[in-house]
Amino acid sequence: MKKLLFYLLVLFVSASCSTADKETQIIILSTNDMHAMIDDYAKVAEYVDKVRSENTNVLLLSGGDMFSGNPVVDRYADKGYPMIEIMNKIGYDYGVFGNHEFDYGQEFLAKRIKQANFPLLCANMKVSEQALIKQPQPYAMFNMDGIEICILSTIQVEDSNGKLIPSAHPDRVKNIDFFQPVETALEYKDLRKKCDLFISLNHDGIDEDIILAQKMPELDIIIGGHSHALVKGKTENGVLISQTECHLKYIGKTVITFKNKKITDKKFELVDVSTLHDENAEVKALISKYYEETPLNRVVGVAGSDFTGLENLGGLMTDAITKNLNLDIAFQNSGGIRTKKIEKGDISLLMLYKLDPFDNEVVLFEMTYDEIYSLLKKSYRSGSQYADLKTSGISYVIKVKNDEVADIEILDAKGNLLNKNKKYKVGINSYIASSYKFDHADAGKSLNVTSAEILIEYVKQQKEVYPQPDRTKIEKINDI
Ligand SMILES: [Zn+2]
């Protein structure tokens, strides 16, 4: 018995001696808001492999919004699958739900979650049995080289007619209840006692992250997303916060050093993907395959000369609406014009979907002159140098005095002042219809066709399209 006690003592002393000075490093690589921008993933894959080959403890995390932004992925027959295949290949360990994860609908999302080799976590959503996705785990707890790690995840929410939902189409988050992310995270603060490294991997946005850090010093680091902010390791209340903007422009690298399982150092470093040159051949081939095989490469028309800038491209988009839907006037918001240029030459479906990637339907409003005037007036953004709403069927000049709209001159297609006593058939996309405030007696009627579909039809029918003279202008008058 004495002998056994002696051996146990020796074992205990030697075990505690060996860990006494043990220094451990955990490296966390992170990307957020990739939005299906797969183009640079071959570089990211090579970089991740290199870090993994040089270090033992490497985690790769996604801060959400894997989908929506690249037609090759978004319009793939099995929506979003290319992104999951690539992320699986690179070996992501965990992710959080982003609001754009819901964009394809729950049926597609359920399949993507099943295929992903990395769990998507989220603590502030409660999925009912009627929903097509399963209840996610709120957090993950695991051991890496003797360090107990906890990853807790939350998604942003906003008020939608009295209900809290992420920034997504309400139909796509049906049968799921969402809760305030910071309040939910606080319910899990006791997990601190069970782990050596406590991470919030969230899709809440930087403003919420700062509040979270202030209220929850139990956290060691916050890896965020959603606001597309570049947060290069900001320490708030002792919590290290980071976010890597979007579209795979950067990789976040957080290095946590432990001594005896206690954190002795936390460092964040931003890796600029444009400075990386080596590419992983396998991932590169996979990306090329998706681009080569997409049916979106089909040519549908020709640009007779370069379409450059918002005015040219917005003119093309709105001409499609007035001409093909037989309307008097159309408007397109500048924020929805997503490419800068279409060069002279072939126009493919891919180019048109890149220009107009959102599935916004065209909504018809019967509008008076005064109502059109009110829409244009309210579209003016303080200090703006260019008119927000690109148009077809009219041209207009917003006259600004001391940063206020003083007058708007609206001309019809023939160059005459727009008739103040007539009603006009105006086509706008559903985004403008729901998020711009303007006077309209008509509630608006969806024409059950998206603005992208109309644009494609128009280019097909025209065969060759040309940029038109500018139709919108902001003029500063007599600034004091
Ligand atoms: Zn995003």
Q: 117 with 258, same domain? A: yes
What spacing in Å lies between the alpha carbon of 85 and ligand 1's midpoint?
A: 20
What spacing in Å lies between the alpha carbon of 83 and ligand 1's midpoint?
A: 15
Residue 380 near residue 388, CB atoms below 8 Å: yes
What spacing in Å lies between the alpha carbon of 30 and ligand 1's midpoint?
A: 14
The values of phi and psi at residue 96, to 5°, are -115, 150
Per-residue pLDDT at 19 exceeds 70: no
Per-residue pLDDT at 10 exceeds 60: no
- Asked whether residue 7 is domain-assigned, the answer is no
Per-residue pLDDT at 412 exceeds 90: yes
Per-residue pLDDT at 237 exceeds 80: yes
What spacing in Å lies between the alpha carbon of 327 and ligand 1's midpoint?
A: 34
Q: 110 with 160, same domain? A: yes
What spacing in Å lies between the alpha carbon of 99 and ligand 1's midpoint?
A: 8
Q: 174 with 202, same domain? A: yes
232-245 mean pLDDT: 98
Of 242, 260, 291, the one marking the end of a domain is: 291
Range name among 4-18, 280-294, 367-381 with the lowest pLDDT average: 4-18
What spacing in Å lies between the alpha carbon of 458 and ligand 1's midpoint?
A: 30
Per-residue pLDDT at 359 exceeds 90: no
Per-residue pLDDT at 248 exceeds 60: yes
- Asked whether residue 9 is domain-assigned, the answer is no
- Asked whether residue 219 is domain-assigned, the answer is yes
86-96 mean pLDDT: 98
243-262 mean pLDDT: 98
What spacing in Å lies between the alpha carbon of 54 and ligand 1's midpoint?
A: 31
Q: 315 with 244, same domain? A: no
What spacing in Å lies between the alpha carbon of 151 and ligand 1's midpoint?
A: 20
Among 10-14, 27-31, 162-166, 168-172, the range of highest mean pLDDT? 27-31
- Asked whether residue 4 is domain-assigned, the answer is no
The CATH number that applies at residue 254 is 3.60.21.10
What spacing in Å lies between the alpha carbon of 445 and ligand 1's midpoint?
A: 29
254-269 mean pLDDT: 98
Query: pLDDT grade, residue 20 (50/70/90)?
Result: low
What spacing in Å lies between the alpha carbon of 43 and ligand 1's midpoint?
A: 21
Per-residue pLDDT at 32 exceeds 90: yes
pTM: 0.83
Residue 440 near residue 373, CB atoms below 8 Å: no
The CATH number that applies at residue 338 is 3.90.780.10
Per-residue pLDDT at 14 exceeds 90: no
Per-residue pLDDT at 16 exceeds 50: no
What spacing in Å lies between the alpha carbon of 167 and ligand 1's midpoint?
A: 10
Of 291, 326, 345, the one marking the end of a domain is: 291
Q: 261 with 311, same domain? A: no
Query: pLDDT grade, residue 4 (50/70/90)?
Result: low
- Asked whether residue 358 is domain-assigned, the answer is yes
Q: 258 with 305, same domain? A: no
The overall average pLDDT reported for the chain is 94
Do strands 239-244 and 230-236 pair parallel, antiparallel, or not at all (unpaired)? antiparallel
Do strands 361-368 and 445-450 pair parallel, antiparallel, or not at all (unpaired)? antiparallel
What spacing in Å lies between the alpha carbon of 204 and ligand 1's midpoint?
A: 10
Q: 82 with 171, same domain? A: yes
- Asked whether residue 109 is domain-assigned, the answer is yes
What spacing in Å lies between the alpha carbon of 312 and ligand 1's midpoint?
A: 27
The domain in which residue 308 lies consists of 298-476
Per-residue pLDDT at 480 exceeds 90: no
454-470 mean pLDDT: 98
346-369 mean pLDDT: 95
What spacing in Å lies between the alpha carbon of 101 and ligand 1's midpoint?
A: 10
Q: 259 with 324, same domain? A: no
Q: Give pLDDT, residue 5.
A: 53
What spacing in Å lies between the alpha carbon of 124 and ligand 1's midpoint?
A: 18
Q: Give pLDDT, residue 169.
A: 84
Q: 286 with 326, same domain? A: no
Q: 215 with 344, same domain? A: no
Q: Give pLDDT, residue 171.
A: 87
22-30 mean pLDDT: 96
What spacing in Å lies between the alpha carbon of 301 and ligand 1's midpoint?
A: 32
Per-residue pLDDT at 315 exceeds 50: yes
What spacing in Å lies between the alpha carbon of 207 and ligand 1's midpoint?
A: 15
414-443 mean pLDDT: 94
Q: 321 with 409, same domain? A: yes
Q: 406 with 264, same domain? A: no
Of 291, 309, 335, the one marking the end of a domain is: 291
Q: Give pLDDT, residue 17.
A: 45
Of residues 8 and 416, the one with the higher pLDDT is 416
Among 1-10, 155-164, 298-307, the range of highest mean pLDDT? 298-307
State pLDDT tens for residues 67-84. Answer: 999 999 999 999 999 999
State pLDDT tens for residues 181-231. Answer: 999 999 999 999 999 999 999 999 999 999 999 999 999 999 999 999 999
Q: Give pLDDT, residue 13.
A: 46
- Asked whether residue 15 is domain-assigned, the answer is no
Per-residue pLDDT at 110 exceeds 70: yes
b or e along 431-465 (b: 16 or more beta carbons within 10 Å of the residue's beta carbon)?
A: bbbeeeebebeeebeebeebbbbbbbbbbeebeeb
Q: Give pLDDT, residue 478.
A: 76
- Asked whether residue 8 is domain-assigned, the answer is no
What spacing in Å lies between the alpha carbon of 66 and ligand 1's midpoint?
A: 8
Q: Give pLDDT, residue 3.
A: 54
Do strands 464-465 and 299-303 pair parallel, antiparallel, or not at all (unpaired)? parallel
Give me the number of domains the chain comprises.
2
What spacing in Å lies between the alpha carbon of 335 and ligand 1's midpoint?
A: 15
Query: pLDDT grade, residue 2 (50/70/90)?
Result: low
